[in-house]
Amino acid sequence: MLNIALDGPSGSGKSTVAGILAKKLDILHLDTGAMYRACALEALKRNIDCLDEDAVKGFISDIDLVIKYENGGQKTILDGEDVSLKIRDNKVSLMSSNISSLPIVREKMVEMQRKVAAENPCILDGRDIGTVVLPHAKYKFFITATSEVRARRRFNELTEKGQQVDYEQLLQEMIKRDYNDSHRKIAPLKQADDAILIDTSNMTVSEVVEKILSIINEDA
């Protein structure tokens, strides 16, 4: 089974790159961050603190979370509702970083992710795909960029959607989320020893895609 692991910090462009690669290679793309975001949204709906392990335990084992594919795109369905847009809300971003630090949440999500990867040729993007979820993936990439470049990308993305955001605030949130994601006890954001590192700070999306494709094709 062709499994590709693509990890990196928020704003590194990994979801965009993974989506394009999936289309070009005709394989499935699983954005695993969307799953943690959906968990955070569920906690928000229930008025639960994302770091309150006991409270999260109460709902996580039977969370009604389904990942569907429509016209090649991933749809995140929570309690029967399409929440693909809602989970992108800035408020959900920081909460998803908190909830993803809970072992009980990771166990459940990793199990779902491994099932998808066992049944489909696919590319998974996240933080721990190459290190924990799919340590035996055929290809592993770790893409990154400076925090300033990533905050600027996020700023442009949200402003294009008409949201009013402050660049400095986004940068601080990005730094805080990086810190949380890379310092948590289990499955921290980390480059796998055998992953190929790509710094995208001065690269366009298509340059990153071409670089990854050339590495995969070299092997074929």
The DSSP secondary-structure symbol of 132 reads I
Q: How far is the CB of 166 from ligand DC (least distance, A)?
A: 19
Complex with ligand DC: residue 36 or 139, whichever CB lies closer? 36
Tokens of 115: 């099932």
DSSP assignment of 186-208 equals SS-S---TTPEEEE-TT--HHHH
Complex with ligand DC: residue 146 or 214, whichever CB lies closer? 146
Q: How far is the CB of 100 from ligand DC (least distance, A)?
A: 3
Q: How far is the CB of 193 from ligand DC (least distance, A)?
A: 18
Check: CB of residue 122 under 8 Å from CB of residue 28: yes
Tokens of 2: 């062709």
Report helix, strand or coil for 4. strand
Complex with ligand DC: residue 36 or 142, whichever CB lies closer? 36
Strand partners, 65: 78
Residues in the site for ligand DC, rule: CB under 6 A? 10, 32-33, 36-37, 96-97, 100, 126-128, 177, 181
Complex with ligand DC: residue 108 or 177, whichever CB lies closer? 177
Q: How far is the CB of 172 from ligand DC (least distance, A)?
A: 15
Report the C-alpha gap between 44 and 91 in whole angstroms: 10
